[in-house]
Amino acid sequence: DTEVTQTPKHLVMGMTNKKSLKCEQHMGHRAMYWYKQKAKKPPELMFVYSYEKLSINESVPSRFSPECPNSSLLNLHLHALQPEDSALYLCASSQRSSYNEQFFGPGTRLTVL
Amino acid sequence: QKEVEQDPGPLSVPEGAIVSLNCTYSNSAFQYFMWYRQYSRKGPELLMYTYSSGNKEDGRFTAQVDKSSKYISLFIRDSQPSDSATYLCAMIDSGGSNYKLTFGKGTLLTVNP
């Protein structure tokens, strides 16, 4: 299995809602990442998990809360988001967190009303 | 000066043409180079990963790295309409940010039948 999967594909939420994005990989990778991508822009790194521990938080607002329940799963919990948070949220994984090529999932397209 | 410069295009070519996509960079610490293809509203797909100067070939794709000139290229031979996508170069430095992909802005390619 050489895929990174993400659910849901699309999500629409209000500013007071709580929702979660899910990411899964079965490649034995020990680093997982969350990125945010706005239209016609490259992905921007949000979080890095290495061996299930949060190793990098790129100054992301606390309304985004990542969680890594095990080596194959990565969640992103969303609460009290703003309309400007609407974007494509991408999960990626790599063998380790340094010097390795990263494989991306298809993304979750999030719309905040 | 941005760390990674990539001509955003758009680039439009006839089917069968040879396509050349390029990125320049200013940070000598960049040592690992990737090319991603991203179809509209999908996640980036890794095409090529290389860390040494010279050429690396995979089917119709050839990645070229010239570290002395700080220049990387992706060549697509016999281009097909299915190659129509945005192409992103990405780099990792060998210093403290060895987990972080620095992306170019992406080049939008259209291959016309």
| Interchain pair A101, B88: CB under 8 A | no
Interchain CB contact of A60 with B (< 8 Å): no
Which residue would you say has higher pLDDT here, A5 or B51?
A: A5
Written as six digits, the tokens of A21 are 């994005």
Confidence category of residue B14, pLDDT binned at 50, 70, 90: very high
How far is A20 from chain B, CA to nearest CA, in Å?
19
Residue B10 near residue B85, CB atoms below 8 Å: no
List, for residues B19-49, the tens digit of each pLDDT value. Answer: 999 999 999 889 899 999 999 989 999 999 9
Interchain CB contact of B104 with A (< 8 Å): yes
pLDDT value for A54? 92
| Interchain pair B99, A55: CB under 8 A | yes
Mean per-residue pLDDT for A15-30? 94
Residue B96 confidence (pLDDT) above 80: no
List, for residues A81-104, the tens digit of each pLDDT value. Answer: 999 999 999 999 999 877 788 999
Nearest to A20 by CA among A93, A79, A83, A62: A79
Confidence category of residue A29, pLDDT binned at 50, 70, 90: very high
* A41 Cβ contact list (under 8 Å, min separation 6): B105
pLDDT value for A1? 60
B110: enclosing H helix or E strand: strand B107-112
User: Measured between alpha carbons, how far is A15 from A82 in angstroms, rounded to an integer?
Assistant: 6
pLDDT value for B9? 86
Query: End-to-end distance of chain A based on CA atoms, in angstroms?
Result: 36
Residue A2 confidence (pLDDT) above 70: no
Which residue would you say has higher pLDDT here, A39 or B99?
A: A39
* CB pairs < 8 Å spanning A and B: 55
User: Measured between alpha carbons, how far is B73 from B64 in angstroms, rounded to an integer?
Assistant: 5
Residue B2 confidence (pLDDT) above 80: no
pLDDT value for B73? 97
Mean per-residue pLDDT for B87-109? 89
List, for residues B63-84, the tens digit of each pLDDT value. Answer: 999 999 999 999 999 999 999 9
Confidence category of residue B7, pLDDT binned at 50, 70, 90: confident
Of A31, A45, A106, the CB nearest to B43: A106
